[in-house]
Structure 1
Amino acid sequence: MAYWLFKTEPDDISLDDIKKAGRMRWDGIRNYQARNFLRDQCAQGDGVFIYHSQCKNVGVVGCARIVQAAYPDPAQFNPKSPYFDAKATDQAPRWFCVDIAYESQLPRCVSLAEIKAEAGLAEMVLVKQGRLSVQPVSSAEWRHIQAMAKKA
Structure 2
Amino acid sequence: MVHYWLMKSEPEECSIDDALAAPGATVPWTGVRNYQARNFMRDGMQIGDGVLFYHSSCAEPGIVGLARVASGTRPDPTQFDPASPYFDPKSPPDPPRWLLLDVQALKKTRLIGLPELRATPELAEMVVLQRGSRLSITPVSEAHWRFITEQLLGG
- TM-score when normalising by structure 1: 0.92
Q: Following the alignment from structure 2 to structure 1, what is the Cα–Cα distance between the partners of residues 96 and 71? A: 17
The SS at the match of 2:39 is helix
**What residue number does 1:142 align with?**
145
Q: What aligned pairs does 1:3-152 form with structure 2 within 5 A after superposition?
A: 3-21=4-22, 22-106=25-109, 108-128=110-130, 129-146=132-149, 147-150=151-154
Percent identity between the two aligned chains: 47
- Could you list the structure 1 runs, at least 4 aligned residues long, displaced by more than 6 angstroms after superposition: none
Distance 1:141 1:87 in 2: 38
CA deviations on 1:39-75 (whole Å, 9 max, x unpaired) are 1111111111111122222210101111111111111
Q: How many residue pairs end up in the alignment?
A: 150
Distance in 1, Cα, partners of 2:81 & 2:121: 45
Deviation string for 1:10-29 (max 9, x for gaps)? 12210000000011100101
Structure 1 gap ranges (5+) = none
Corresponding residue SS for 1:88: coil
Q: How far is 1:143 from its partner?
A: 1.1
Amino acid across the alignment from 2:13: D
Letter in 1 for 2:124: A
Task: Give the structure with the higher percent strand.
Answer: 1
**One-letter code of the match for 2:35?**
Y
RMSD: 1.5
- What is the TM-score normalised by the length of structure 2? 0.90
Unaligned stretches of 5+ residues in structure 2:
none
> Is the 1:43–1:70 contact (alpha carbons within 8 Å) kept by the matching residues of 2?
no
Which letter maps to 1:8? S
Deviations 1:85-124 (A, max 9, x none): 1221221211111101110112x21111111111211111
